[in-house]
Amino acid sequence: MTLSRKPECFLKDRVDFSRIRRVLVVKLRHHGDVLLTSPVFQVLKNHYPHLELDALVYKDTEEMLSLHPSIDQLHTIDRRWKTLGLSVQLTEELRLLNRLKRRNYDLLIHLTEHQRGLIIKQYCRIPIAVSASYPRRNNALWHRTFKYQHPVFPMGKRHRVEQHLDALRRVGIQPTGSERQLVLEVGIDARKKVDSIMAREGVGAGSYVHIHPTSRWLFKTWDYEKVAQVIDGLAAEGKKVVLTSSPDKQELIMIDAILAKVKSEPINLCGKLTLKELAGVIESANVFFGMDSMPMHMAAALNTPVVALFGPSDPVEWGPWWVKKIILTSDLFPCRPCGIDGCGGGKRSECLSELTVEQVLVALEKVLQ
């Protein structure tokens, strides 16, 4: 027996993309979450090259998608609007809505449960909208607004990239092969700046280990003493180490604690790089070591081998995507992954603390083979 039509045709209400010209993709979350949407644009463009694809993200996360070859316009919401007074905030919000409305979108792909999606859909009069069937949005207004809804998977059952791509599957697009890879563009200027920094430090591309031991969520981080021991262990093997972090005050306090313990001299770029420059450092490393964090996802996007430590978060859902990797977790805690900010809410995750320096050094050696 032969099939007379393609499998995707079994979806009776699939969207006719010959009638779609402009698409708006909304992702109002943190940096790593935004980067994990990058395949959505690539898949859309691969399947329907005629589409104009725009994105809406928070301004502080825009570098995760800027220069993406499949994105036509990148719109942003500045979280600081809230601090400027109600009048200014409303003015900026209305200006944004009017800018979006003038684009005359045919399809809205809303990748968060943020209520703003409802407003955008109605105000901009976008005919077709797709989102997930979020439990917290199980109401008549959400269902009327988003005619197309895809299932939400429980924690640890499906990678977040695939969950984003489910929005496309729901409207009749089946992603294939390598088009599901992450996309992160470093840019010429950032690459030149990193080359200059590394030349000044006497290291070339592919000649150093990049360690980013911090996270905005401190309960995801490893003990600073152990990070220092890893740095010294690598130095003893003759390896150069580049250390980075964000300029966040709490992260820099952790970096100071690490540097106070190390006996070697890592190249310290902590708090000194833009996001694109950080991407350039990651791109030129021969391996990345860190936690479940934005830089880990950047390493995956840039195809830099990864050694990552996971404690309360789940690597099935948040692990480094489609890259050579070793993920270290503890088997001593059946409660993980719990998603809680430290054991007992104490901001310290014992399942991370149990991981040893030797495990990390062995993993770094192995991933480079």
Give buried/exposed letters for 13-45 (b at 16+ CB in 10 A, else e).
eebebeebebbbbbbbbbbbbbbbbbbbbbbbb
Which of 131, 161, 180 is at the close of a domain? 180
Least confidently predicted of 34-43, 210-219, 268-277: 210-219
Structure tokens at 5: 């039509």
3-state secondary structure of 172: coil
Quick count: other Cβ atoms within 10 Å of Cβ 95?
10
Q: Is the distance from CB of 297 to CB of 35 less than 8 angstroms?
A: yes
User: Is the pLDDT assigned to residue 322 strictly greater than 60?
Assistant: yes
Q: Is residue 318 part of a domain?
A: yes
Average pLDDT of the chain to the nearest whole number: 94
How do residues 111-142 score in pLDDT, each as one tens digit? 999 999 999 999 999 999 999 999 888 898 99
Q: Is residue 75 part of a domain?
A: yes
Q: Which whole number is the average pLDDT over 259-271?
A: 98
Please state the separation of Cα 284 from the chain's center in Å.
19
For residue 344, give every residue at least 6 positions away whose Cβ sits within 8 Å of its Cβ, in sequence order, or none: none
Same domain flag for 166 and 203: no
Query: So what's the pLDDT on residue 135?
Result: 84
Query: So what's the pLDDT on residue 3?
Result: 42
Task: Show the domain range for 118.
Answer: 7-180
How do residues 347-362 score in pLDDT, each as one tens digit? 889 999 999 999 999 9
User: Is the pLDDT assigned to residue 72 strictly greater than 90?
Assistant: yes
User: Is the pLDDT assigned to residue 345 strictly greater than 70?
Assistant: yes
Query: So what's the pLDDT on residue 62?
Result: 98
Strand 306-309 to strand 325-328: parallel, antiparallel, or no bridges (unpaired)? parallel
Which of 180, 196, 213 is at the close of a domain? 180
Query: So what's the pLDDT on residue 9?
Result: 61
Same domain flag for 102 and 195: no
Give buried/exposed letters for 290-310 (b at 16+ CB in 10 A, else e).
bbbbbbbbbbbbbebbbbbbb
User: Is the pLDDT assigned to residue 225 strictly greater than 80?
Assistant: yes
Same domain flag for 257 and 330: yes
Percent of the chain exceeding pLDDT 70 equals 97
Query: So what's the pLDDT on residue 6?
Result: 56
Same domain flag for 229 and 329: yes
Backbone angles phi, psi at 245, to 5 degrees: -160, 175
Residue 70: give its domain's CATH number: 3.40.50.2000
Same domain flag for 76 and 159: yes
Same domain flag for 172 and 242: no
User: Is the pLDDT assigned to residue 186 strictly greater than 80?
Assistant: yes
Q: Is residue 130 part of a domain?
A: yes
- Integer Cα distance of 15 and 171 in angstroms: 5
Of 130, 77, 124, the C-alpha closest to 105 is 124
User: Is the pLDDT assigned to residue 202 strictly greater than 70?
Assistant: yes
Of 190, 151, 168, the C-alpha closest to 283 is 190
Which of 138, 159, 180 is at the close of a domain? 180
Q: Is residue 100 part of a domain?
A: yes
How do residues 50-67 score in pLDDT, each as one tens digit? 999 999 999 999 999 999
Q: Which whole number is the average pLDDT over 310-337?
A: 95
pLDDT tier, 154 (very low <50, low <70, confident <90, very high otherwise):
confident
Same domain flag for 218 and 360: yes
pTM value is 0.94
Domain count, the chain: 2
Same domain flag for 208 and 174: no
Quick count: other Cβ atoms within 10 Å of Cβ 175?
21
For residue 238, give every residue at least 6 positions away whose Cβ sits within 8 Å of its Cβ, in sequence order, or none: none
Position 99, amino acid: R
* Measured CA distances, 163 to 112, 150, 179 (Å): 11, 9, 15
Query: So what's the pLDDT on residue 2?
Result: 40
Q: Is residue 2 part of a domain?
A: no
Same domain flag for 91 and 113: yes
Query: Which strands, in side-by-side order, build the sheet including 22-26?
Result: 73-77, 52-58, 22-26, 107-110, 128-132, 148-150
Query: So what's the pLDDT on residue 136?
Result: 87
- Integer Cα distance of 38 and 42 in angstroms: 7
Same domain flag for 38 and 150: yes
∠ CA 61-85-92, nearest 5°, is: 50
Same domain flag for 152 and 193: no
Query: So what's the pLDDT on residue 346?
Result: 84
How do residues 226-253 score in pLDDT, each as one tens digit? 999 999 999 999 999 999 999 999 999 9
- Integer Cα distance of 88 and 91 in angstroms: 5
pLDDT tier, 1 (very low <50, low <70, confident <90, very high otherwise):
very low
Same domain flag for 240 and 358: yes
Q: Is residue 1 part of a domain?
A: no
